[in-house]
Chains A and B, each alone.
Chain A
Amino acid sequence: MNIDLSRRGFLKLAGAGVAATSLGAMGFDAAEAAEAAHVRAFKLATTTETRNICTYCSVACGIIMYSKGDLKAGEHAELIHIEGDADHPTNRGTLCPKGSALKDFVKSETRATQPRYRAAHSSEWQEITWDAAFDKMARALKDDRDQNFIEKNEKGQTVNRWLTTGFLAASGSTNETGWLTYKTVRSMGILAFDNQARV
């Protein structure tokens, strides 16, 4: 270190010269050591705070989700709390009663976590795979479209309409998802289509 003469004199007067922590340099080493011994028994717990958007409606309130446990360290992360995001311009930290109950929504025992199918005339739900669900939906859509697609109107003009099926999209989706939904649905000729983006 390059210290000019006057400073070297000062450092000597100040008892300085060795790298030390504030407590060490000020002569509180014993307190520091006691605290170090005290915390040795503790382990660090990890919490994660994650920004998200409430899933309920198209107001799209910001939320902060707290989870316990470090996924990156291979631990199981468990949701412990959800609150309004005070930094979010839409809700400034507030939530409606439904939004306030979001944690119960996530933890609900009756929450649908995989596709289920109830056959016609049956009273029982049966769990099916996503592949089976998609196949079933595609089959139903294709059959309906083949049967009811209107290529030309009575004047003989091309209209390519499919009026017997409608599409309801999620209000919590992003603009990008909205765009993709529009492209997918409209290109099949569906006219009854709603993104629920108007509360």
Chain B
Amino acid sequence: MTTELKPDPSVIGGVPVAPFALLPEPERLFAKRAARFAFLAQSSNLAPYLSFLGDLTQVQARLVPDLPPPALPDAARIEVARAARMPPIDRQAAIADPVLHETLDRLCAAAAAIDMPAPARQALEAVSLAPREDRDWLLGNVLTDTIPADSVAPHLFAAAAAQVHMARIAATLDVAQLVPIRTGICPCCGGRAATSSVIGLKELENVRYAACATCATQWNEVRIKCLCCGSTKGLSYRSAETAKATVKAETCDECQSWVKIFYTLTNPAIEPIADDVGSLGLDLMMKETAYRRGGFDPYLTGY
């Protein structure tokens, strides 16, 4: 008896294609982020802020399993969004979702137990007591990625609630149904990226994923490309002292902005949001240059 041999060139090399997006698993995401905040707080000048955010993120993680299910985009909406190259999650609809308001309620109640400075507590109490109209305003600003410079503190709590809500919705989506929208824009919720990371995925190394500041989806972006304007010209990388840094500022001469990039391959513990705050020193250094910060992070407003 003879066995029929068929050539299978696919086994040679076998380098996988980078998945377009990595969806968040909310409980794990916030738990991991909280742990990273706590770790960074051990050896940083920013320890008080990092510990506070660690505790707040812990609250986010604890909220996830008990919250009622959020309003999800239906199949028709996802299809329309796909066809028009729009994100499946409707942020405008999310502002009106009672579950988001419930999330904010529970977050404020649980956050009250966290140790925090007086200005933070004052903002938290104001958000807790705020009537629906003011909460709509807060959540509306957060979900359009615009935080008014004169009321950063109350928006921080609103953003933390929005992160929980949006990550829970994003977690239910199907990666195969997502389409690229525009450079630097989240394919799930249409939000702006906070940072991007050069990561390793099993057999795949050195691929870049941008992290959504709101729903925490990570999506594949071509490297050496400005996340603000999509330019591939005039990019360079700034880092503190050494060229071998694991966090750099990707600067773009075309639009004069910069976005943080982490080399997670060199340090797998890096978390896109926790380390964004942890590397505030780079923001402070970049503030002295002509470039403006392009990454959106409600925990780092004003840099």
Contacts and interface: CB of A to CB of B under 8 A. Distances in A.
Interface of A: 1, 6-7, 10-11, 13-28, 30-32, 34-36, 38-39, 42-51, 64, 66, 68, 70, 72, 80, 83-87, 91-94
24 contacts: A11-B150, A13-B122, A13-B126, A14-B122, A14-B151, A15-B123, A21-B302, A22-B156, A25-B153, A25-B302, A26-B152, A28-B52, A32-B280, A34-B45, A45-B243, A46-B237, A46-B238, A48-B235, A51-B224, A64-B223, A70-B236, A85-B223, A87-B207, A87-B222
Nearest to B152: A25
Contacts of A28: 46, 48-49, 52, 117, 120
Interface residues of B, number: 69
Interface of B: 13, 15-18, 44-49, 52, 116-120, 122-123, 125-127, 129-131, 133-134, 137, 149-154, 156, 204-208, 222-224, 232, 235-243, 245, 248-249, 280-282, 284-286, 289, 298-303
B123 A24 contact: no
A13 B125 contact: yes
Contacts of B224: 49-51, 64
Contacts of B223: 49, 64, 85-87
B237 A47 contact: yes
A21 B119 contact: no
Contact of A36 (B149, B284, B301): B284
Contacts of A25: 119, 123, 151-153, 156, 301-302
Contact of A26 (B44, B52, B130, B285): B52
A15 B242 CA distance: 40
Given A20-B149, A35-B45, A66-B243, 10 more contacts: A15-B119, A15-B153, A22-B302, A23-B46, A26-B123, A27-B119, A28-B52, A35-B281, A45-B245, A46-B237
B58 to A, nearest CB: 17
Nearest to A9: B134
B152 A20 contact: yes
A87 B150 CA distance: 41
B156 A26 contact: yes
Contacts of B240: 39, 42-45
Nearest to A94: B15
Contacts of B47: 31
Contacts of A48: 235-237
Nearest to A70: B236
Contacts, number: 192
B88 to A, nearest CB: 25
Nearest to B280: A35
B240 to A, nearest CB: 5
A51 to B, nearest CB: 6
A93 B207 CA distance: 8
Nearest to B220: A87
A48 B248 CA distance: 11
Contacts of B16: 92
B284 A39 contact: yes
A156 B49 CA distance: 92
Contacts of A68: 243
Contact of A42 (B17, B118, B243, B285): B285
Contacts of A7: 134, 137
A15 B126 contact: yes
Contacts of A39: 240, 281-282, 284-285
A92 B303 contact: no
A93 B16 CA distance: 10
Contact of A43 (B118, B241, B245, B303): B241
Contacts of A49: 223-224, 235, 237
A184 B299 CA distance: 61
A7 B149 CA distance: 15
A85 B245 CA distance: 20
Contacts of A66: 243
Contacts of A83: 206
Nearest to A66: B243
A21 B297 CA distance: 12
Contacts of B236: 46-48, 70, 72
